[in-house]
Amino acid sequence: MMTQAEWLAINEQRASIYQWFGSLFALEQTKEQLECYQNHQLDNLYAVFTELGLSTEVNRFQKAMNNALQDDSVVLELAADFAQHFLLDDKVSTLPYASFYLEDGKLYGDVETKMKEFLESNQLTISENFKEPADHLAIYLYLFAYWIRRSNYVNDQVTVSKEQSIFLENGLLNWLPEFVEKSQKQKLKYDVYPSLSALLLAFIKIDLLLLKE
């Protein structure tokens, strides 16, 4: 059993990582956000992934982002990649909605309804600027980051770890592998979003193992 200080530190790091993933899957990146990569403000995050044994996945993402940043039109080019990857129909894009994978290509299905009800029951709201269904991948990631931070107030580390493991297994890993597999087939100008998807899946698998330990 780790100390409370260690528990808090690890949880904050985990929450920040899930929130970072969520921000990249939610919306197109702005000039200001991309400048963080140019200014090496993400180097500590990359180091964490490497320490977790994800050097292959994070190096791929870092290389893809660095390649994109060489483009004077990087904001527009990545926005175009984002649209093609996530926003078109399922024949062109890799849609980031749980219902699509769990309900045979259905959108706004039972999964989305249950997520909306869960958010409402916990008095959580989706930003008005985010015009997407509640079962969007980014919502799962933001929700999990929120849950991790809230668990800092719970002393029973074992119970919290079990509950979070169940969420990862039943809320994400039951459809995310298929999403990532389709993502790898995308023909985009830059490899940013396919590499990000692969990194997310690899990180979740590691996080699940650590929770179970």
100 has pLDDT over 90: yes
**Is residue 164 very low, low, confident or very high in pLDDT (cuts 50, 70, 90)?**
very high
Comparing 4-18, 45-59, 149-163, the range with the smallest average pLDDT is 149-163
Comparing 79-83, 149-153, 184-188, the range with the smallest average pLDDT is 149-153
132 has pLDDT over 90: yes
Q: What is the mean pLDDT of residues 80-88?
A: 97
CB 148 within 8 A of CB 14: yes
pLDDT higher at 140 or 150: 140
Structure token digits, residue 149:
């931070």
The region, left, alpha or beta by phi > 0 then psi within -120 to 50, assigned to residue 181 is alpha
Q: Which pLDDT score is estimated for 156?
A: 78
Q: Which pLDDT score is estimated for 130?
A: 87
Q: Which pLDDT score is estimated for 1?
A: 64
**Is residue 34 very low, low, confident or very high in pLDDT (cuts 50, 70, 90)?**
very high
Q: Which pLDDT score is estimated for 87?
A: 96
**CA angle 48-50-55, nearest 5°?**
145
Residue 13's closest CA among 66, 56, 60, 52? 52
Q: What percent of the chain shows pLDDT beyond 90?
A: 80
**Average pLDDT along the chain:** 94
